[in-house]
Amino acid sequence: MTAQIILASTSVFRRALLEKLDLEFSTDSPDIDESPIDGETAEQLVFRLSESKAACIAAKHSQGLVIGSDQVACIDGEILGKPGNFDNAMQQLLKASGKSVDFYTGLCLFNAQSGQKQTLVDVFKVHFRNLSDEQISRYLKKEEPYNCAGSFKSEGYGISLFERLEGDDPNALIGLPLIKLIQLFEKEGVLIP
C-alpha cells in the first residue's frame, strides 16, 4: 500500500528521525493547546497530545496516515517542560544530576480515511552522572538545548551527561520511537523496508 504520510510536527528532530525510514512524507504543524490537565500523569499527557496532534492534522486530509508525537521528561514524578533559557536548563540539569529521568513519548498513527488510530507511550530512562555546576554550565553554553525536553540533546554532546541509558529504541529519546512506528505502519499495510 502506498499512503500519503504526514508528520504532525515541524520539529527538525522528528523530521530527521522519520527521514531515516526513507519514506516520502510531508509535515504540518498542529495548532493545539499542549497544557497539562490538572491531575494528568506524564503518560496520560503524551498519550492525549500525540492523539490530539494527529487528529488535528487528519481533520485537514481525507486520506493519509498522520503521525502525532509528544514527549515529556519526569524527575521524581515532576513533569519538566522545555527549559526555554539557560537558567531554567541549569535548574533542570542540576535536579537531574545523579538521578534517573524518565522520558515519556506518545506516538499516534491516525488513518485519516478510516478514522482508525493506534496510540502508545514509549518510556526511556536516562541515568545521569553526578554533574558539577561547571560541567552543566559548560554543556549548556556549548549545545544550547533550550527547546529540548530535559535540557539536553542525546544525539549530540548531551551524551556526555549520562551514566547509562535504558530503553528499547534510542530514537524515542530524541522524540520519535521508530521501532514502534514501523510496527504501527505494518498494521496499516505500509512495509519498511
Give domain limits for the chain.
5-187
pLDDT band at 1 (very low <50, low <70, confident <90, very high): very low
pTM for this structure? Answer: 0.92
Q: At which residue does the C-alpha cell 519526569 appear?
A: 74
Whether the CB-CB separation of 106 and 69 falls below 8 Å is answered with yes
pLDDT band at 82 (very low <50, low <70, confident <90, very high): confident
- Pinpoint the alpha helices (H) of 35-132: 42-58, 86-96
Active-site residue numbers? 70
Query: How many CB atoms within 10 Å of residue 86?
Result: 14
Task: Please provide the average confidence, as pLDDT, over all residues in the chain.
Answer: 94
Average pLDDT, integer, range 29-51: 94
User: Whole-angstrom Cα distance, residue 57 to residue 60?
Assistant: 5
pLDDT band at 3 (very low <50, low <70, confident <90, very high): confident
Give the single-character DSSP code of 163. Answer: E
Q: What is the pLDDT of residues 114-131, one digit of tens each?
A: 999 999 999 999 999 999
Q: Which CATH class is domain 5-187?
A: alpha beta
Average pLDDT, integer, range 134-160: 93
pLDDT band at 185 (very low <50, low <70, confident <90, very high): very high
